[in-house]
Structure 1
Amino acid sequence: MKRVAVTYEYFCRIILMILVAHVAFIAHTLLGLVIGGFFPSVAATYATYRTWLIDVKDRSWTIKQTWTTFHKAWKAELKSANAFGWPQFAVWALLIWEYWLVQNNDMGVAGLVVSGVLLLLNLFYGLFVFISWAVHANFDESPYWTLRTSIAMVIARPMCSLMVFLLFLVTVWAYAAWPGLLMAFGVAVPIYATMMAVYSWGRLPGMDVHVLEPNEKDAAAAIHKQ
């Protein structure tokens, strides 16, 4: 019974952390006048979850700890996140516009082929964008290195890519079924899901469940002490 209570508290703290990250995301996006604050907020959310994930000894974060971690990451990312995010956004906007254009114009058989290619390209690019921010949060490397590594991960870590995609679909379904969840958690949930997928299946040095998590014996001992 005690173990159930501890597990329940653990998940409640995760929900609270995600909720605080969502509020911090909105506040800091507005603080940067949206245009200058959005992508640093995206980067800060990824960075906050990364810090929480690698803190395997104590993930019972307080509201203050989550907010402070987010704010520090946001200030550090003001320049780099905008330089990293806006070119990505421009490319994805172009791909989506081209897909919409093909879908809304009768181009015959060629149009169907192009539409299918653009759909796959958008799917691949979406996975690349989601994973690239996780790589960006985990490594202090150049944008070119981050982009190259992210593309390699999408291809070389199929289970990670699949889970990122499936968890995103589940999130979209949940938000569509219960719109209140979107208002309460926003982008904080899909980012959390992405980081959990990368942490569990991405095998990134410095953020890998197989390296960072305590073994079963240590986990059992920790529960027994509680």
Structure 2
Amino acid sequence: MLSRFALSYERICRTALMVFIVNVAMIAHTLLGVLIFGFFPSIGAAHTTYRTWLLCEDRAWTVRNTWSCFHKAWKQDIRSANAFGWPLLCLWALLIFDYWVVNWHDAGGRIGVAVSGALVVLMAVLGIFTLLSWVLRANFEESGLWIAKTTIQMVVARPLCSLMSAVLFALLVWVWYTWPGVLVVFGLSVPALLSCMVVFSYAKLPGMDIHNISAGVSTPSHMTEGR
């Protein structure tokens, strides 16, 4: 029993260290890309790193393993991640601006309330879409349009996956609010890990399904082994 506890504790410590290293790598590579060119590739590289780790038989990664995987993925994904991330950011900016206009200006009484509610729902759906889309990008070597269409289908067709993503992210926001140090130490690395774990466990995604991996099902050739 003591040996099992020791092994579990070691795994938790190794995982926490990996999450911290990914966060440091995200900050360093975002600065390396002069912020505007480095942020979205860092998001993509974090998801690729966690996908690779989840599919690895030996998850006892060292700092070097984590950093090397992240850096390789970041270099390979600079153009593609920016081409996907900036339109997504513009969509978020549009919805937030519309929500601001409706709620802090005279938007027409009941109609304004209805529009405000609709915008909240859209932002919630877009939030789930955002969390899942980066995981799909890490798993499939496809165009951004294909990723967007497939993610929308998955949000609808995999309600448990969508629900778990929303619940875990809400819980994470509460943790950030309650203990701000968690956000400082682990940053955006945590939501990337949680999203990958949810998809791995509940999405039944080809090439990234815990049940198929356990059964030894091979990964189709059109799927990435890490960007």
Q: Does 1:100 align with 2:95?
A: no
Spell out, residue by residue over 1:59-110, the C-alpha distance to the aligned partner (whole angstroms, 9 max, x if none).
Answer: 0000000000000000000110000110110011101111121111233100
CA distance in 2 between counterparts of 1:142 and 1:93 reads 23
What is the match of residue 131 of structure 1?
A: 132
Q: Give the partner amino acid of 1:192.
A: L
- Secondary structure of the residue aligned to 1:66 is helix
What is the match of residue 155 of structure 2?
A: 154
Q: Does 1:77 align with 2:77?
A: yes
What is the match of residue 8 of structure 2?
A: 7
- Secondary structure of the residue aligned to 2:77 is helix
The normalised TM-score by structure 2 is 0.92
Residue identity (%): 50
Query: How far apart are residue 213 of structure 1 and its match?
Result: 3.3
| C-alpha RMSD of matched pairs (Å) | 1.1
CA distance in 1 between counterparts of 2:215 and 2:31 reads 39
CA distance in 1 between counterparts of 2:17 and 2:208 reads 22
Spell out, residue by residue over 1:6-57, the C-alpha distance to the aligned partner (whole angstroms, 9 max, x if none).
Answer: 11111111111100000000000000000000000000000000000000x2
CA distance in 2 between counterparts of 1:20 and 1:64 reads 9
Query: How far apart are residue 214 of structure 1 and its match?
Result: 6.5
What is the match of residue 223 of structure 1?
A: none
CA distance in 2 between counterparts of 1:212 and 1:3 reads 24
CA distance in 2 between counterparts of 1:214 and 1:206 reads 12
The normalised TM-score by structure 1 is 0.93
Identify the structure with the greater helix proportion: 1
Which structure 1 residue ranges, 4+ long, deviate > 2 Å from structure 2?
A: none
How many pairs were matched up? 214
Higher relative contact order (CA 8 A, sep 6+): 2
Larger mean CA deviation between 93-102 and 68-77 belongs to: 93-102
- Secondary structure of the residue aligned to 1:213 is helix
CA distance in 2 between counterparts of 1:191 and 1:105 reads 36
Q: Give the partner amino acid of 1:16.
A: L
Q: Which consecutive residues of structure 1, in runs of 5 or more, have no partner in the other structure? A: 216-226
Q: Which consecutive residues of structure 2, in runs of 5 or more, have no partner in the other structure? A: 217-227
Aligned pair in 2 of structure 1 residues 214, 19: CA closer, same or farther (>3 Å)? farther
Larger mean CA deviation between 140-149 and 16-25 belongs to: 140-149
